Structure 1
Amino acid sequence: MAAPRPTSLIATCDQWSRAWHQGTAVDGAPGALTLSWTEPADPGPQPGAACLARGLAVDRLCRVHRLSAHAVHRLAVGPTRGGLDYARLGTPVEIVGRDPAPPPGPDFVPRPEPALVDATGIAIDADDRLFLADRGRRWIAVLDLWSRRTLRTILTPGVPMGLAAHGRTVHAVLREPAALLRLTATTEPTVSPLPTDGLPPASQPSRVTVLPDGTSVVLWHAPDGTAWLVAPGRDAEELGGASDITVDATGAVVVAPCAGRAAILRRHVPTAGGWTRTLPLDAAGYDGSGIVATEGGRIGYWTAAGFRLAARGRVRYVKEGTCVTYRLDSGRPGNQWGRLVLDACLPPGTDCRIATVTSDDDFDTALPASPADPAACTPGHGTTPALPPDGLLPAATGALHRRRDAPTPWWRPAAGDPVDVFEAPVQAPPGRYLWVRLHLTGDGGRTPSIRALRAEHQAHDLVRRLPAVFDDGTFLHRYLAMFDSLLYDLDQRAARRDILVDPAATPVEALPWLASFTGLVLDDRWPEHARRRLLAEIVALYRRRGTVGSLTRFLELYLGREPIIVEHFRLRGLSGSTPVAGLGFRVGGGDPDAPDGSAHRFTVVVPQPLTGEQEAAVRHVLDTERPAHTDYDLCTVDAGMRAGSALHVGLTSLVGPTGTMSPLVVGASAVTAGTVLGGSGSGIPVEAARLDRTARVG
């Protein structure tokens, strides 16, 4: 069995940017090689700098909160990863206004709300606390979204502008003087100065967002309306006109234009020393209210017709470009290189041709770069790779062969990923170093996308297994390479057949086969990652099949959070009335003290709302995994738990993040007056916590 061949890999943004580019670009988000693009012209700053957005925010239940000068409106939109059904969106509901009134319905407790004079910033932290900045009052108010209580108001040393949440910490920018404020719902704020290097005189900070690593990014506005993007340790980036900023799922900073301008959301990828532009987004109809990153990773914005999601922006690509990789080193003089394997997407109307050159010499020459070279996504851009003389680089004429599968044993691209696998032989004489020239062509509206390039250090040895009379030097070697591609890959799969019985690595189509080893029939309604985790734990779960612990873990693997299973016999004698948690939320039924009403029955409390498909999947688990002589009730919680009749602490109550509570330590915390237990997030049973008579649950 042949040993795996060593390879050189070019796959990251840094590696692609260290190549030589002419008419090609590096898309910073996926780290792929593409043709250079041209964005629509930046309309420039708006005179008078009157384009500042007030902001949007999203809570844990996928509800968008839109801030105006005197009110906050809320709209439930749901997860957005698969798109959004705009026809089902309702009308935004005002939850904070100038003259507050008790909110309708049982979901909220009437509490006084702060009157907003000139609101300028909004953010929601990980515990669903709403932060509002008001420059008219020069304070930041903190509200609990569940109880609608004003938890605290913080007077700021300057004029508060934009807000951005990162976990439980909220970042706020201040004017007069310019400063950055960091605060939480329970701790005192800390103030730090903002860097102003490279900014025009009299510039003022306006908006703020936070990178995944916790770094604050501040949007500044100069007196003439020009906007600047500033982050610690990076050069200031001039933007033209801008009204708001946020960070998308890829870590790029998305910049919104002023209202009434070209609805293009520009994206800037942070580097160690500055910024690079990547493909923009289209936000048709953007009204200047602000932008927000939704739970599904999409960027949302507001229009005159309501909430919308940004789509991939239309750009114009150059029709051809060339990229020459830096030298790939095999470590052996006179080395015969093997195959080139590319992970690429070639839409109709596009193509990629390759050429290779090898040498044992360590060239240190430079080819002239095109002024249209893109900014790369790492500080390595601008360093010229060691290239052979221009005369040694042949024109890229070699075609790519599309494979039916991947060369890596058992690897498959993710579902919906348009990437294909292509390969081609290295048609060059032996040499220690290898350079690959890629010539990309497109039609102006589409571009090839090369995600990764692998070059095998060793060629096949099939010719040496034939009689020497058949060795003609070149043709037979290239001809047998077609058969070696299949034979070598099958050989490597056979060597790594242990992957097939690994739940975390086996191909998705092999999951039902692997599940049949234990007699398990997988439910296709489960997401792939949940099915893999279930397979990894199924033997241990079957050892205690039918128990409360097994059912709980089974459902937790599917739901992503732990349900509560209440056996009705535990309620016997605890209450003389039917136990009810909340409005219309019943645990059990009938008389709890009657043996026939509690024996062999249990209730499953799921602390989250369920769709019809999710509920059907949960019931399927309960029907197949519970003891045959038992029966059950299924209940869901989607708005926190409130005190009803005979709510049993330790059985059906959860402690969730809300209000001004610090983290509760079970067995070492006392719940006193004014403390709130509730929230929709999963929590822990309060079996050992002490409740005072003045404490509220809900």
Structure 2
Amino acid sequence: MRLIPDSGLRILRGTAHWQLCALRDTARVDDVVMLAPAAAVADDGVAAAGPFAGGYAGMVFDQHCRLFHPRPEDGKVDSVLWGETTSLGVHAGTPQPFVITAAGTEVDGSVTGELPQRPLALAADSADYLYLADPDSKAVWLVDTWQQEVARRIEFAHAPVDLAGCGGDVFVLLADGTTWQLAACAEPLRTPWPALPGAERLAVSAAARGGHLAWVLERAGQFDAALHALHLGQSITLPFCTDIASEAEHPEFGALLVVAQLPGDNFLRLRLLGNQPTLLPPLLAPHYDGRGIALAPDCRIAYWTAQGLRHAAPARAQYRQRGQVFAFALDSEHDQTPWGRLVVEACIPVGTGIRFRAFTRDDLEFADPIDGKGLGGETPVLSQHTWDSDARATQALFRDPSPRPLTPAPADGFALYDAPLIALPGRYLWLVFEFTGTRSKSPRLRSARVEYPGHDLLKKLPRTLWREAAARDFLYRYLMPPAALLDEWQAVAGDRHRLLDSRIAPESALSWLASFLGLVLDACWAPAVQRQMIAEAATLFRTRGTLSSLQRMVEILTGAEVVIIEHFRLRGGGVVGNPHVNASQAVLGVGYRVGGAIGDPRRQALASDKPAAGDDFENFDDFAHRFTVSVVAALDAPQLGCVRRLLELHKPAHTDFTLCTADSGIRAGLGAHLGISSVIGKSAGFAAGVLGDAVLGAGTLLGRPELDREAT
């Protein structure tokens, strides 16, 4: 029995594959390869150079959108209320002095107590405390931002040089390279991150799987400045960088870092995914003073200028005009394998292009892979000698506009291109893609797949037509388009069974499959919900309109627990706030009459064709055609609309319903049923009230607890 197939596909796709390739003047952005950004050039056309010695002044935003900007030379701090801009998009706020007073009593008009001497770096926590790093006094000061009073002073053996906040946590970087956590903890706590003597800047952000990501910048503003990832133990050389800012890590896109350079230079943007840095288009920062940046509440980058606060704007991307991608060896596992067709998913704008070359060999015995990629491994890239000695012309790619049935469509902006592989038979195949672009446009390559061993239509022709090598090569390439079409039809015929199974059917075929069962799919249903609805449609439609069927449908749609309460089951029960509860007791001979109406006699008219005059039609609790659907989940407006449409379509005729969710609130007498639609327990915490921005009794608390001064 053979364990190795005679034919198959070899694919280059995803970050893991592109990391094994050698990139020359190209760059990987997530799972796409494109031309690398051009080198940054100063306004006068000369590359920026020279160290920066303008000092540091770290800014910070608090949770109330106030920016605090230190002035270390004067020993003062300014504040700006962020958010108001002019018609030109320039920040309209003017800096106001943030006067800090000492915690003490006034004696003869003076205030006792110490104050920060040289506030160098700032941080803010969720409790409205401002942290000031003061290297002169070797201490970090906590200042109440509302009372503008010093609340605590934390001393260290070494001078603090920078602060960083992440949610409610605050970290400090000391001159000896160690990092300490200040909040939320009673006493400073040494972090497990390694000490790095010479570190001058600190940035901390939340990790996607919990915890923190920490970066420090060493020798800021110098030619040999380096960015170190403390949580990874890796470093990147970034000449003349002055400060760093980071966003919370995204589980799919990774962590985004913004690195400030010298005044007049653009801000660099780095995306770290899978511990691999990717350079993104930069940010424009005119008139940047070089003394620090901060992450604004809207995730823009704020910086300081001589005219005050400004925000960095996306810069127009500029790319190199040529580049190459050297792929690693693709193994067919058979010597002298004839390779077939190449199919590429790419975005090739007008004025750009992607061409390729193919190289084959039956062995991997060479010691000069390009850029050393794969040296000593099983999948090295092409030999440098082979590349230097090759003089063949590159091959072109041809766009395939025809849609492929039962296969996912290319990503937005991308298309499929294919071409025959003109190369000698061989076990290993190397592909080299050559990119051409302009200063503002670059082609993008997402994936490439190669078929082997190619088609066998030559064997169906008389041997006299392809006995000679030149004729065989011509006919092989000439018959490749019809062979590809036949392979596509065969693949579709072999996958027809997928259309009848909702678990594996393509998303585009789900509506067609649901129509066989009489099920109408709503556009707001997620693909997983559509598949589950189709799988259970036959069972649910047998009892359509019943309590169990409606409950199961809503459970599939919301993925939460669903409780359906029929209102006639609540008759005669005690309901808080219902003044007519004693008028209808379900006790035979006391308040219950067989054949009579329950509740107010005026409501008997509702059962006739002509209602009684003056009836307000407000209370329908006494009738059996109403029910309440309670979803134990918090749903937004689009989700609520989706559930309502489902209930309207599948509920019994001449019935009405009320939809409640977990965030609807408790309304005594209208929908608060203990153990069914409400639970008594601990509520969420309250936030401190701010005069003019909060309402008492609506989630805010007047006042705030005072810090324990004895712990200072």
| Coarse TM-score class (shorter-chain normalised) | 0.5 to 0.7
Match of 2:343 in 1: 341
What CA distance in whole angstroms lies between the structure 2 residues aligned with 1:629 and 1:322? 69
Which is further off, 215-224 or 460-469? 215-224
Do the aligned residues in 2 keep the contact of 1:396 with 1:438 (CA within 8 Å)? Answer: no
Match of 1:412 in 2: 409
| TM superposition shift of 1:559 | 5.4
Match of 2:443 in 1: 448
CA 1:482–1:155: 2 relative to 1, 3 Å: farther
Q: Which amino acid in the other structure matches residue 411 of structure 1?
A: P
Over aligned residues, Cα RMSD in angstroms? 5.3
What CA distance in whole angstroms lies between the structure 1 residues aligned with 2:394 and 2:356? 6
Do residues 47 (structure 1) and 73 (structure 2) align? no
CA offset digits 1:240-259 (Å, max 9, x no partner): 02252224541133215379
Match of 1:163 in 2: 165
Do residues 511 (structure 1) and 510 (structure 2) align? yes
| TM superposition shift of 1:8 | 1.8
What CA distance in whole angstroms lies between the structure 2 residues aligned with 1:658 and 1:141? 27
| TM superposition shift of 1:523 | 1.6
Match of 2:228 in 1: 230
| TM superposition shift of 1:39 | 4.7
CA offset digits 1:139-178 (Å, max 9, x no partner): 88999xxxx9xxxx9997766821225xxx9573454675
Give the match's secondary structure for 2:678: coil
Q: If you compute each CA radius of gyration, which structure gives the higher value, 1 or 2?
A: 2
CA 1:594–1:514: 2 relative to 1, 3 Å: closer
CA offset digits 1:656-676 (Å, max 9, x no partner): 88439xxxxxxxxxxxxxxxx
Match of 1:257 in 2: 260
Q: Which amino acid in the other structure matches residue 685 of structure 2?
A: G
Q: Which amino acid in the other structure matches residue 482 of structure 2?
A: F
What CA distance in whole angstroms lies between the structure 2 residues aligned with 1:537 and 1:251? 38
What CA distance in whole angstroms lies between the structure 2 residues aligned with 1:142 and 1:604? 44
Higher relative contact order (CA 8 A, sep 6+): 1
Decide which of 627, 630, 635 is 1:601's aligned counterpart. Answer: 627
Give the match's secondary structure for 1:352: strand
| TM superposition shift of 1:450 | 1.2
Unaligned runs of 5+ in 2: 43-47, 70-77, 101-114, 134-138, 581-615, 687-697, 700-712
Match of 2:357 in 1: 355
Q: Which amino acid in the other structure matches residue 455 of structure 1?
A: V
Match of 1:682 in 2: none
What CA distance in whole angstroms lies between the structure 2 residues aligned with 1:73 and 1:642? 37
Give the match's secondary structure for 1:431: coil
Do the aligned residues in 2 keep the contact of 1:363 with 1:386 (CA within 8 Å)? Answer: no
CA offset digits 1:540-598 (Å, max 9, x no partner): 6546644566545544655576676555444841313389xxxxxxxxxx999985167
Match of 1:321 in 2: 323
| TM superposition shift of 1:510 | 1.3
Q: Which amino acid in the other structure matches residue 336 of structure 2?
A: G
TM-score, structure 2 as length reference: 0.66
Do the aligned residues in 1 keep the contact of 2:59 with 2:67 (CA within 8 Å)? Answer: no
Match of 1:664 in 2: none
| TM superposition shift of 1:68 | 3.9
What CA distance in whole angstroms lies between the structure 2 residues aligned with 1:469 and 1:142? 94
Q: Which amino acid in the other structure matches residue 202 of structure 2?
A: S
CA 1:156–1:643: 2 relative to 1, 3 Å: farther
Q: How does 1:55-74 map to 2 (within 5 A)?
A: 55=61, 68=68
Do residues 216 (structure 1) and 213 (structure 2) align? yes
| TM superposition shift of 1:53 | 3.4
Decide which of 613, 620, 623 is 2:645's aligned counterpart. Answer: 620
| TM superposition shift of 1:434 | 1.6
What CA distance in whole angstroms lies between the structure 1 residues aligned with 2:222 and 2:622? 75
What CA distance in whole angstroms lies between the structure 2 residues aligned with 1:627 and 1:132? 58
| TM superposition shift of 1:72 | 11
CA 1:15–1:615: 2 relative to 1, 3 Å: closer
Which is further off, 563-572 or 426-435? 563-572
Match of 1:35 in 2: 35
Q: Which amino acid in the other structure matches residue 315 of structure 1?
A: A
Do the aligned residues in 2 keep the contact of 1:264 with 1:313 (CA within 8 Å)? Answer: no
Q: How does 1:417-496 map to 2 (within 5 A)?
A: 417-471=412-466, 472-496=471-495
TM-score, structure 1 as length reference: 0.67
Decide which of 202, 205, 221 is 1:206's aligned counterpart. Answer: 202
CA 1:54–1:352: 2 relative to 1, 3 Å: same
What CA distance in whole angstroms lies between the structure 1 residues aligned with 2:182 and 2:452? 54
Give the match's secondary structure for 1:521: coil
Do the aligned residues in 2 keep the contact of 1:217 with 1:229 (CA within 8 Å)? Answer: no
Match of 1:18 in 2: 20
What CA distance in whole angstroms lies between the structure 1 residues aligned with 2:559 and 2:286? 37
Q: Which amino acid in the other structure matches residue 242 of structure 2?
A: G
Do the aligned residues in 2 keep the contact of 1:247 with 1:293 (CA within 8 Å)? Answer: no
Match of 2:496 in 1: 497
What CA distance in whole angstroms lies between the structure 2 residues aligned with 1:193 and 1:41? 40
| TM superposition shift of 1:460 | 0.6
| TM superposition shift of 1:341 | 1.3
Give the match's secondary structure for 1:316: coil
Match of 1:576 in 2: 577
Do the aligned residues in 2 keep the contact of 1:206 with 1:221 (CA within 8 Å)? Answer: no
Give the match's secondary structure for 1:485: helix
Do residues 399 (structure 1) and 396 (structure 2) align? yes
Do residues 290 (structure 1) and 294 (structure 2) align? yes
Do the aligned residues in 2 keep the contact of 1:286 with 1:301 (CA within 8 Å)? Answer: no
Do the aligned residues in 2 keep the contact of 1:21 with 1:322 (CA within 8 Å)? Answer: yes
Do the aligned residues in 2 keep the contact of 1:576 with 1:593 (CA within 8 Å)? Answer: no
| TM superposition shift of 1:501 | 3.2
| TM superposition shift of 1:512 | 0.9
Do the aligned residues in 1 keep the contact of 2:382 with 2:430 (CA within 8 Å)? Answer: no
Q: Which amino acid in the other structure matches residue 485 of structure 2?
A: L
Q: How does 1:124-139 map to 2 (within 5 A)?
A: 134-135=131-132, 138=140
CA offset digits 1:353-403 (Å, max 9, x no partner): 12222232435153776xxx9xx9xx99x9865456236634443211222
| TM superposition shift of 1:192 | 2.1
Do the aligned residues in 2 keep the contact of 1:171 with 1:216 (CA within 8 Å)? Answer: no
CA offset digits 1:471-515 (Å, max 9, x no partner): 231111111111111111221122122322344543332121011
CA 1:40–1:66: 2 relative to 1, 3 Å: farther
Do the aligned residues in 2 keep the contact of 1:301 with 1:307 (CA within 8 Å)? Answer: no
CA offset digits 1:241-285 (Å, max 9, x no partner): 22522245411332153797555351142665xx53422354678
- The share of aligned pairs that are identical, in percent, is 26
CA 1:456–1:554: 2 relative to 1, 3 Å: same
What CA distance in whole angstroms lies between the structure 2 residues aligned with 1:577 and 1:439? 78
What CA distance in whole angstroms lies between the structure 2 residues aligned with 1:545 and 1:131? 55
What CA distance in whole angstroms lies between the structure 2 residues aligned with 1:441 and 1:196? 45
CA 1:225–1:560: 2 relative to 1, 3 Å: farther
